[in-house]
Amino acid sequence: MVQSKSDLRVTKTRKSIMQAFIKLSDEKDFKNITVKDITQEALINRATFYYHFSDIYDLLDKALAEELLIDLNYEYFDQKSIDEATLTYIFKIVSEFQLSLSRRCHRSYPETIGNIIQEHIERVLLRLLSEVDFEDEHTRQLAASMLSASIYRASEKWCESFSDLSAEAYIKRVTPYIISGLVSR
């Protein structure tokens, strides 16, 4: 019984730290946010912050990963294959996430965020590419990495222009070419 209370407190504190970080990111650039700012906003001490996160980059990584994981649910992709619909879905999730992040922060954000997002996309793609016949595992990993970077960059372009096209319509213009290259192997 005591354990569950402790777990609840830990969960609430962790959530409070993340919410403080998100609130601060609305007000200032990431590079200007300090651990002191976060501890003051979350009403905790430095030791509590460091109990949960090793540094501000760890907090950034965990906050983005947890938010992305809600949308890029790895289990969802276990029963999927790499096809136009799946690539479109991944692109839509990443684009909507980036759009909400840019609206929330109203500022440029560090390259770190892009790297974190691309790592998550890459993990999903590695699962999906397991059914494609590659000459070796390094080639599969390279393909996942390149495709991940392409999806991320295309979603940045979509967010920058935010045209009349939906994210799905935007990416569907190229998915047939991507898939035909993967399937024709």
pLDDT at 2 over 50: no
- Rounded to two decimals, the pTM is 0.73
Residue ranges per structural domain of the chain = 2-53, 64-183
Residue 103's pLDDT is what?
Answer: 63
pLDDT at 151 over 80: yes
Q: Find tokens 């651990």 and name the residue.
A: 35
The answer to whether 35 and 49 have CB atoms below 8 angstroms apart is yes
| Confidence label for 109 from pLDDT (cuts 50, 70 and 90) | low
pLDDT of the residue at 171:
92
Return d(Cα 101, Cα 26) in angstroms, integer: 10
Task: Report the greatest alpha carbon distance in the chain.
Answer: 58
Q: Which pLDDT score is estimated for 69?
A: 60
Per-residue model confidence (pLDDT) at position 152: 92
pLDDT of residue 180: 83
Percent of the chain whose predicted confidence (pLDDT) is above 90:
41
Of 137-141, 145-149, 164-168, minimum mean pLDDT range = 164-168
Q: Environment class of residue 185 by beta-carbon count within 10 Å: exposed (0-12), middle (13-18) or buried (19+)?
A: exposed
Which secondary-structure segment (H or E) carries 178?
A: helix 175-183
Residue range 15-26, pLDDT digits in tens? 999 989 988 887
Stronger pLDDT, 108 or 11, i.e. the higher one: 11
Q: What class is the 2-53 domain?
A: mainly alpha
Q: Which of 123, 131, 111 is nearest to 185 (CA)?
A: 131
Mean pLDDT of 109-124: 82
Could you tell me if 113 and 104 are in contact, meaning their C-beta atoms sit under 8 angstroms apart? no
> Cα–Cα distance between 132 and 183 in angstroms, integer?
7
Residue 122, token pair as written in the block: 């890459």
pLDDT at 1: 41
CB 95 within 8 A of CB 159: yes
Contact 121, 90 (CB under 8 A): yes
Is the pLDDT assigned to residue 42 strictly greater than 50? yes
Q: Which residue has the tokens 């976060």?
A: 38
- On the question of pLDDT at 63 being above 90, the answer is no
Is the pLDDT score of 71 beyond 80?
A: no
More confident residue, 181 or 34: 34
Q: Residue with structure tokens 């969960």?
A: 11
How high is the mean pLDDT of the chain? 84
Residue 106, pLDDT score? 46
